[in-house]
């Protein structure tokens, strides 16, 4: 495995390749540009169709790179020798990777003189994998952060170089924590680059026994299982806001849930039963306790407060309605 140990007197003289795709990665690229680092190329995923018109959309990283006249490469993967040779010709000292979305083979990891380092949105070895931000909230973690990691052939298994931590507050959801970690990732990356030639970078091996895996998010994950505890359900609602958004099912229709609070259940009603509906919220029984839904979205409508929902008079989520656990049973 290539590492960052060889010395260069000025890290700003490094020839850096940046690989990333979404907004999270663009935050780090923007910080590198603003600090004057020498970005010789960017790699990002190919343009994708998006929106109702299915027009081709450039990734946030590509848009930023083009605004700063940085060359952009968009291979489907790095299995083609042509793509690997193009990378070699860039003669990079270091490759910085953030939410790229493409697995890098060993030949790519070994190409830059100092290898590849990754900006990962968790305190490794906790939450390796694709969705560390949401899984940390969903698990009820009270702390997360950014790990700058030397990449190897494993999935987020490389040595830890630098860590910055942040608390997960009760008001955080997947969106707010994502945005904070995007900024923190940019800060951590700059701090690590400034310390490349010092002993401050830890180069600490991960303890695989402490690792857990953050499975990729899917819309199927977002369906509420009302037999779970109120705490578990409320955490899922927070974690999956703004995507994929937790949802309940009433008579075959999805009701998306954006905000909820934990309340007591003083009834013997079955999990999934609506027991109260006021402008202050819709209360639904859980396997243990209940949740009070504060913000939701009905089919074909925009997200709204429960107060607006009740004022609208829509005959859904009425008291004694039983929300189903799966669409197959609806």
What tens-digit pLDDT sequence spans the chain (330 residues)?
445 543 344 666 899 999 999 999 999 999 999 999 999 999 999 999 887 778 899 999 999 999 999 999 999 999 999 999 999 999 999 999 999 999 999 999 999 999 999 999 999 999 999 999 999 999 999 999 999 999 999 999 999 999 999 999 999 999 999 999 999 999 999 999 999 988 899 999 999 999 999 999 998 899 999 999 999 999 999 999 999 999 999 999 999 999 999 999 999 999 999 999 999 999 999 999 999 999 999 999 999 999 999 999 899 999 999 998 664 443
Measured between alpha carbons, how far is 252 from 151 in angstroms, rounded to an integer?
A: 45
Q: What is the pLDDT of residue 326?
A: 61
Measured between alpha carbons, how far is 58 from 56 in angstroms, rounded to an integer?
A: 7
Using alpha carbons only, give the angle 14, 19, 20 rounded to the nearest 5 degrees. 135
Among candidates 158, 141, 140, which has minimal Cα distance to 149? 158
**Quick one: tokens of 73?**
């490469």
Q: Spelled out in words, what is the top-level CATH class assigned to the domain 219-329?
A: alpha beta
Let me know: does 234 contact 291? Beta carbons within 8 Å. yes
Q: What is the pLDDT of residue 292?
A: 98
Residue 113 burial (CB count, 10 A): 16
Parallel/antiparallel/unpaired status of strands 15-20 and 94-98: parallel
Measured between alpha carbons, how far is 38 from 208 in angstroms, rounded to an integer?
A: 35
**pTM for the predicted model, two decimal places:** 0.93
Q: What is the pLDDT of residue 325?
A: 65
Residue 155, CA distances (Å) to 15, 74, 130, 150, 209 in order: 25, 22, 10, 11, 14
Residue 254 burial (CB count, 10 A): 18
CATH 3.40.50.170 residue spans of the chain: 11-214
Residue 242, CA distances (Å) to 256, 269, 281 in order: 10, 30, 20
- DSSP letters, 179-225, are HHHHHHHHHHHHHHHHTTTSTTS--BPP-GGG--EEPPP-GGGGB--
Write the Ramachandran bin of 284: left for phi over 0, alpha for psi from -120 to 50, otherwise beta. beta
Residue 209 burial (CB count, 10 A): 6
Long-range contacts of the stretch 45-49 (C-beta < 8 A, 24+): 45/21, 45/74, 45/100, 45/101, 45/102, 46/74, 46/75, 46/76, 47/74
Among candidates 293, 256, 263, which has minimal Cα distance to 277? 293
3-state secondary structure of 142: coil
Measured between alpha carbons, how far is 125 from 322 in angstroms, rounded to an integer?
A: 41
Parallel/antiparallel/unpaired status of strands 55-57 and 48-50: antiparallel
3-state secondary structure of 88: helix
CATH 3.10.25.10 residue spans of the chain: 219-329
Q: Which CATH architecture has domain 11-214?
A: 3-Layer(aba) Sandwich (3.40)
């Amino acid at each position: 495995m290539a590492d960052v140990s060889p010395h260069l007197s000025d890290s700003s003289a490094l020839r850096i390749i940046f690989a990333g795709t979404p907004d999270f990665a663009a935050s780090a690229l923007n910080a590198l540009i603003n600090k004057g680092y020498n970005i010789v190329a960017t790699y990002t995923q190919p343009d994708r169709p998006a929106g109702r018109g299915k027009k081709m959309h450039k990734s946030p990283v590509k848009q930023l790179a083009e605004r700063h006249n940085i060359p952009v490469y968009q291979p489907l993967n790095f299995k083609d020798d042509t793509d690997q040779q193009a990378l070699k010709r860039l003669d990079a000292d270091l490759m910085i990777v953030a939410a790229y979305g493409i697995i890098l083979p060993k030949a790519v990891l070994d190409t830059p003189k100092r290898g590849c380092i990754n900006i990962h949105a968790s305190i490794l070895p906790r939450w390796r994998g694709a969705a560390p931000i949401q899984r940390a909230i969903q698990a009820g973690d009270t702390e997360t952060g950014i790990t700058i990691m030397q990449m190897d052939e494993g999935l987020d298994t490389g040595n830890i170089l630098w860590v910055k931590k942040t608390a997960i507050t009760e008001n955080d959801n997947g969106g707010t924590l994502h945005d904070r970690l995007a900024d923190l990732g940019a800060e951590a990356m700059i701090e690590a680059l400034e310390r490349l030639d010092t002993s401050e970078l830890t180069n600490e091996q991960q303890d695989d026994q402490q690792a857990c895996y953050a499975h990729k998010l899917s819309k199927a994950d977002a369906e509420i299982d009302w037999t779970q505890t109120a705490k578990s359900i409320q955490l899922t609602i927070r974690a999956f806001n703004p995507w994929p958004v937790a949802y309940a099912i009433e008579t075959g229709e999805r009701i998306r849930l954006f905000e909820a609070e934990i309340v007591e259940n003083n009834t013997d009603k079955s999990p999934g039963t609506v027991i109260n509906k006021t402008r202050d919220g819709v209360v639904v029984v859980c396997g243990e306790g209940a949740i009070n839904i504060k913000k939701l979205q009905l089919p074909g409508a925009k997200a709204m407060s429960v107060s607006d929902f009740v004022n609208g008079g829509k005959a859904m989520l009425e008291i004694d309605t039983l929300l189903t656990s799966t669409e197959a049973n609806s």
